[in-house]
A and B are shown apart, each in its own frame.
Chain A
Amino acid sequence: MSTTAISPRAPSSYRKRAALLSQLRIWSGVVTCVLFLLPIAWMILTSLKQQRDIFTTPPTLFFTPTLETYVNYLTNHDLPARMLNTLIVAGGSGLISIVAGSMAGYALARIKLRGATTIGVIILLSRGVPPIALAVPMFLVARAMGLLDHHITLILAYCTFLIPYVMWLMRGFFKALPEELEEAAKIDGCTRFGAFLRIIVPISLPGLLSTLIFSIILAWEELLFALVLTNRAASTVPVVISGIAGDTVNGANWGALTAVGTMTFIPVVIFALLVQKWLIKGLADGATKG
């Protein structure tokens, strides 16, 4: 492929081709991105439609937007209560998991424990446990203990997948920190826990925060445990949505589906975009460090 040596015109035509290919690559990326966002755009658009604008042939792009469905769902249904439940459960399980998980992740990364490798493998394997294998016994035990439909039950259930997740992510994070940090702290007379609390946690704050936010998102959208362990008082938004989506008796209530969907989605997306830098880094570390 040494065309450069043959003709003096080759370099510029080669460069032109390369520039064209690069343009093509950029625009294919943009188009793909738009394609991926279209369903979400359609959801938001539909949520602003009146019933008669939703069911039209052909589907319409031009209509008078209305917030009717939003107002309806926020005032006449128990959606605000469900949202509060989701927030309590997601926040509670996120906080418990970040504390327990980051401590354990630190232990796996830095403290020589007999069998630490085995524990690491078990944690990774535990992420493969099908939730249904936990949901059945949890339902039976919670029922026997009168704990069904309580926030705490769902919070503990979410810990089963959040703690291993946090442990794994934070283990990688702590491993990347220079070891001199703790050594300096130890010389200054800090205990192990003191060093962790006063030195490691403050400098890991961005990583901890993004892991916390990602954990909250994971808990926010969980469906199986929420369906099984709650029914009225502690039930969460995904349960509402699955109810609307699966409502075959009243037919498709797309207005409700899209409005509730949008309301659930917007706060999460804002959070995710706020910490996008850390989120992407967390994902990247998860992939490359293992």
Chain B
Amino acid sequence: MSITALGTRPAIRKGASPRASRLADLVARWGFMTPAAVLLVATLAYPIGYTIYISFAALNLGTFTPDEWVGWDNYRTVLEDDRFWDSLWVTFVYLVFALPLQMFLGFAIAFLINAEWKGRGAIRAAFIIPMVVAPVIAGGIWRMLLDPLWGVANYVIGTVGLGPIDWLGDPFWAMFTVILIDTWRWTPFITLMASAALLSLPRDVFEAAAIDGANWWTTLWRVALPLLVPVIAAIFVVRWLGAVKMFDIALAATHGGPGRATSVVNLFIYEEAFRSLKFAESAAMSLIVLVITMILTAIFLRGTRMLEERN
């Protein structure tokens, strides 16, 4: 502590003791965080804690309270359950096809609708519309469109000599249908984000590429994509966080069927918990899913950060 510092201090302090004012400052700063923190602890942290607790317990179905500590039994039970593994596999297949497809379509459509003309604003606004159709409605109306008997989809492909396709009754087509509906519902979301990202690309780089005689393909691969990589990664993470929760589209369109062909893990756990009343096993399953999701999300976030820093 230098003499000058000591000399200037009292002027700032103005009577209040430094400890009290520091405390007041701390309260003021954390005060902003408090409402959200309290609510999230009560509605997020506490339930997760409770889930952990019941995942190690046997639940008394008379009182709906845990009454016996069973250790890892619930985990052993669900890990030996082929249906749980099947639902994880179904979720995996859905994610592996739906996410890349939606990313690709999203950016491709964004490129198309970014063409400069007077209708551009209207087209972009129109892409908001599918985005606000509740997923459960989306599942319901697509189920109607794809109905094997009266659906308009089979009629349309019939006019060109195709089909009829048993969209919802065949395991392969049912999965295809779920991915199709999900893609219809979520691609506009990616398109709008991608459209803004494309517009924010610096123009002069492209002009320079054109002057250097780069063709369209080279420009895309060597100029546009490297610039877009961080945005693509960020959009991917946002979409991933939504897709792992997918539940309502599968419920409304196929109800997980035929059999369990489209029973994504959230739907499977829901059925186990609230139809079969296996709460403890469901808790164990949802924690396994939670851990897998967290690990993958952390990997994706790390990847995103690395891509951002590389640029």
Contacts and interface: CB of A to CB of B under 8 A. Distances in A.
B70 interface: no
Interface stretch (A64-72, A73-81, A127-135): A127-135
A137 B284 CA distance: 12
A284 B197 contact: yes
Interface in A225-256: 227-228, 238, 241-242, 244-246, 252, 254
A224 interface: yes
Contacts of B265: 130
7 contacts: A59-B150, A131-B247, A137-B51, A159-B39, A221-B134, A273-B128, A276-B125
A205 interface: no
Interface residues of B, number: 102
Contacts of B30: 107, 113
A246 B255 contact: yes
Contacts of A290: 234, 304
Interface string B132-149: 111111111111110100
A37 B32 contact: no
A280 to B, nearest CB: 6
B119 interface: yes
Nearest to A56: B150
Contact of B145 (A42, A217, A238, A279): A42
Q: Which secondary structure dominates chain B's binding surface?
A: helix
Given A32-B109, A32-B112, A245-B140, 12 more contacts: A29-B113, A39-B184, A46-B144, A131-B245, A136-B279, A140-B64, A156-B43, A257-B141, A265-B132, A272-B129, A283-B193, A287-B238
Contacts of B286: 130, 132-133, 136
Interface string A94-135: 001001110110110001110000010100111111111111
B175 interface: no
Contact of A136 (B42, B184, B244, B273): B273
Contacts of A258: 141, 144
Interface string B115-137: 11101000111111111111111
A245 B297 contact: no
A26 B115 contact: yes
Nearest to B269: A132
A273 B122 CA distance: 10
Q: List 9 tightest A-B contacts by C-beta distance, closest first.
A: A284-B196, A221-B134, A104-B36, A245-B140, A107-B32, A133-B286, A29-B112, A137-B50, A287-B193
Given A111-B29, A113-B29, A121-B301, A128 B244 contact: yes
Interface residues of A, number: 101
Majority DSSP secondary structure for residues of A touching B? helix
Contacts of B132: 217, 221, 265, 268-269, 272
A204 interface: no
A99 B35 contact: yes
B104 to A, nearest CB: 13
A286 B193 CA distance: 8
Nearest to B233: A290
A251 to B, nearest CB: 11
A136 B283 contact: yes
B287 A25 contact: no
Contacts of B113: 29, 32-33
Contacts of B48: 129, 133-134, 137
Interface string A256-288: 011001001100110011001001110110111
A164 B127 CA distance: 25
A173 interface: no
A16 interface: no
B200 interface: yes
A66 to B, nearest CB: 18
